[in-house]
Amino acid sequence: MTAISLAVIGGTGVYGLATLDEVETRAVTTPYGDPSGPVRVGTLLGHRVAFLARHGEGHSLPPHKINYRANLAALKQIGATRVLALNTVGGITEDFGPRVLACPDQLIDYTWGRISTLSEEPGSEVLHVDFGDPYTPMLRHKLLAAAKVTGTRVVDGGCYGATQGPRLETKAEIARMRRDGCDLVGMTGMPEAGLARELGLDYVCLGIVANWAAGCGTGEEITMAEVLANVKAASAGLPELIGELARG
Ligand code: HPA
């Protein structure tokens, strides 16, 4: 069996990769419980790629109920070493308007009450992993190179602020995040990135900007219809980009 070149975790609006061929479905269980759903492993432009829908294929799991540990452990168990996290996000600063694709290089964690470490259970080894650069620099570099090759516009850098959800933020919360230095806001970036580091997985985020965050841009009310339409439009070139990343 060919090794898995890349694992992709899909976020809101991205529940599968329609372009995968020869798809096998793997129901994986892990020491941390079950992942959000089956892992689909298929061929994309000649490379084996695994796909997992973070919220479940029917979008049944809110961000704080996702078993992030099981999702990442499942991908590791089937042999993945590199993870591309697709995260639907709101844009805060001016370069990050709706339909922009962005590869952030920093994050701030505002989530609470989520199991955020493999060291949770009594008696488990206590891990203090380096997390200064939360996204694997080499994989970021490869994603940006793949974007260049495929002619996909991806903004290089930015700070992702992870909020608790599932509600969207208040304007004051977003104003605070802007003061903190956040460019993007999403609900699922943590603890996923930290757990990937603990598991020794290379991990990169591709933010898909679905809307202006509260009080930003035109300041209009955010609707789910707008979010899904923008994710769909911004995702058109993703299979080619993901195929190119899987190649390198
Ligand atoms: N806030 C948090 N998460 C999001 C948003 C937002 O505005 N849009 C898409 N995911």
Please, what is the average pLDDT of the chain?
95
Domains (ranges, CATH) in the chain?
A: 6-247 (3.40.50.1580)
ipTM given for this complex? 0.99
Distance 89 CA to ligand 1 centre (A): 5
pLDDT at 227: 92
CA 176, 97, 238: angle at the middle one, nearest 5? 120
Whether pLDDT at 179 is above 70: yes
Q: Model's pTM, two decimal places?
A: 0.97
Beta carbons within 10 angstroms of residue 113's beta carbon: 7
What pLDDT digit, counting tens, does each position of 190-204 carry? Answer: 999 999 999 999 999
Ligand 1: lining residues by beta carbon, under 6 Å: 88-90, 163, 168-169, 185-187, 210-211, 213, 222, 227
Distance 212 CA to ligand 1 centre (A): 8
Ligand 1 site-directed mutation target among 108, 168, 190, 209, most atoms within 8 Å of CB = 168
Half-sphere exposure (Cβ direction) of 73: Cα atoms closer than 13 Å: 15
Q: How far apart are CA 240 and CA 246, in angstroms?
A: 10
What pLDDT digit, counting tens, does each position of 140-172 carry? Answer: 999 999 999 999 999 999 999 999 999 999 999
**Is the sign of the CA dihedral 73, 128, 174, 218 positive or negative?**
negative
